Amino acid sequence: MLKMVDLAYALENPVTRGDERGQIQRDWIVASAASDRQAREALAKAAQALTERIPGRPPETDLAQAWAQVGQGWATLSYAEAARSIAAAAFAVDQGGVNTFPT
């Protein structure tokens, strides 16, 4: 059975180790990159639908528009996942502090 984790609690919890927070952030970055790939693939399909020429038929603009909207959705998700990772990193720094002076 898959264990569900409340990510907000895990990031706020002072007991959560730094490596666990780091893994959560890495997972979000990986998810962002995967969503970016999905967005690029959908936009490529939209371009293909517009450039594919079938004699006697107009370009399939409705299909291209649908793929473009799918691509836009994936791009939005990619951005949100990256922003979440950045926010988690900023929160971790705020909670733990950063020592810029060697001791």
Written as one letter, the residue type at 70 is V
Locate the domains of the chain by residue range. Answer: 21-94
Neighbouring residues of 27: CB distance < 8 A, sequence distance ≥ 6: none
Q: Each residue of 8-22: pLDDT tens digit?
A: 666 566 555 666 767
3-state secondary structure the chain: CCCCCCHHHHHHCCCCCHHHHHHHHHHHHHHHHHHHHHHHHHHHHHHHHHHCCCCCCCCCHHHHHHHHHHHHHHHHHHHHHHHHHHHHHHHHHHHHCCCCCCC
Q: How many CB atoms lie within 10 A of CB 62?
A: 9
Residue pLDDT, tens place only, 33-91:
899 999 999 999 999 988 888 888 888 999 999 999 999 999 999 998 888 888 777 76
